[in-house]
């Protein structure tokens, strides 16, 4: 029973991720999306696109990475991709957050979840690299269908988007990258 109470404490803590807002709005909705619904959306992208990965993946591990990857934002907040200062400042906060939040769990699960989260953060394995590509692709697809909403609101340029996203997406899904590049270079919403 003691271990189960710890698991329930962890699960209830997670409700807080539903209050962490990102810079993107879901297409058709006039509100910012939160990191919990975003994590669900990326999971579906993984389920739909993992068959195209450059090498055979442990899809269960990729899904677990995606489902866990934003939980640290409960303490650290969401750092916008293009805000380098905020992202650097977030790193230490995120490590502390992982310690506190995964630390709610029984020891064996704390270890498992922390390892999956760290593997994602380090981005060295094929699963982590594919997961990062899918995580990076979702807001791009939303912006393509939303007149560049989060980029325009935050003064992000076409070059910034292409440089930042290419690194993560191109190798993992060349065809998706080709599609994205074409859409973005043809878009007319960029400020000069």
Region from 22-30, 88-96, 121-129, 160-168 binding a copy of itself, contact rule CB under 8 A: 22-30
Which residue from 21, 86, 89, 109 is in contact with a copy of itself, where contact means CB under 8 A? 109
Asked whether position 47 contacts a copy of itself by CB under 8 A, the answer is yes
Which residue from 21, 89, 141, 187 is in contact with a copy of itself, where contact means CB under 8 A? 141
**Short-list 109, 164, 102, 105, CA closest to 137:** 164
> Do residues 37 and 126 make contact, with C-beta atoms less than 8 angstroms apart?
no
* CA 181 – CA 127 distance, rounded (Å): 24
Asked whether position 12 contacts a copy of itself by CB under 8 A, the answer is yes
Asked whether position 149 contacts a copy of itself by CB under 8 A, the answer is no
Asked whether position 41 contacts a copy of itself by CB under 8 A, the answer is yes
x/- mask, a copy of itself, residues 82-101, rule CB under 8 A, reads --------------------
Which residue from 14, 91, 107, 118 is in contact with a copy of itself, where contact means CB under 8 A? 14
We find the least distance from the C-beta atom of residue 89 to a copy of itself, in angstroms, to be: 25
| CB within 8 Å of 94: residues ≥ 6 apart | 72, 73, 75, 76, 121
């Amino acid at each position: 029973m003691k271990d189960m109470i710890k698991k329930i404490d962890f699960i209830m803590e997670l409700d807080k991720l539903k209050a962490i807002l990102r810079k993107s709005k879901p297409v058709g909705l006039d509100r910012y999306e939160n990191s919990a619904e975003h994590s669900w959306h990326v999971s579906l992208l993984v389920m739909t696109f993992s068959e195209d990965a450059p090498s055979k993946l442990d899809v269960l591990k990729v899904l677990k990475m995606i489902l866990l990857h934003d939980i640290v934002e409960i303490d650290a907040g969401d750092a916008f991709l293009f805000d380098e200062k905020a992202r650097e400042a977030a790193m230490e906060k995120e490590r502390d957050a992982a310690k506190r939040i995964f630390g709610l769990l029984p020891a064996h699960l704390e270890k498992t979840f922390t390892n999956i989260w760290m593997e994602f953060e380090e981005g060295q394995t094929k699963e982590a690299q594919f997961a990062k590509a899918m995580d990076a692709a979702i807001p791009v697809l939303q912006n393509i269908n939303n007149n560049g909403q989060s980029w325009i609101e935050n003064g992000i340029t076409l070059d910034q988007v292409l440089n930042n996203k290419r690194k993560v997406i191109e190798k993992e899904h060349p065809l998706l990258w080709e599609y994205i590049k074409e859409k973005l270079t043809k878009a007319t919403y960029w400020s000069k």
